[in-house]
Amino acid sequence: MEELLKLAKEHVKHCYCPYSDFHVVAVLETISGKKFVGVNVENSSYGLTVCAERVAIFKAISEGEKNFSKILIYSPDGTPFPCGACRQVMAEFCSEDFEVIVATENKILSYTLKKLLPFSFNLNR
């Protein structure tokens, strides 16, 4: 986990958050140990903003990765729990026991995806 946190802290400078000033970095790890980093990218048309978690997941998917073990979400500005949209995207690509780590300067919390999103939408159910 320390390696993921270090990587996240190194990427805070890449966040684009001029509207909220809330920096978020997500580090997604595959089952094989490969890591993908995403940062939040805001837009003046707020609905077009993309969260760090989705950036990391889409980056990994676009490079052919499909098997994920965990994601660390870090912010120096507050507790960065994933939004509903990010939780649903995680549910699309990750198992219920996928680990979601939420980290700040002072605390680290760990949850399973099932705990954060007990009733995800699934078109086939």
Domain 1-116 listed as CATH 3.40.140.10? yes
Q: How far is CA 55 from CA 6, 52, 58, 89, 106, in A?
A: 18, 5, 5, 11, 25
Neighbouring residues of 105: CB distance < 8 A, sequence distance ≥ 6: 76
Q: Give the tens place of pLDDT for each residue, 22-80.
A: 999 999 999 999 999 999 999 999 999 999 999 999 999 999 999 999 999 999 999 99
pLDDT digits (tens, 9 = 90+) for 98-117: 999 999 999 999 999 999 99
Q: Is there a contact between 103 and 73 (Cβ–Cβ < 8 Å)?
A: yes
Catalytic residues: 53
Please enumerate, by residue number, every residue annotated as part of a binding site for Zn(2+).
51, 83, 86
> Global pTM?
0.96
107, exposed or middle or buried, with CB in 10 Å at 0-12, 13-18, 19+?
A: exposed
Q: Which residues are annotated as a binding site?
A: 40-46, 51, 83, 86
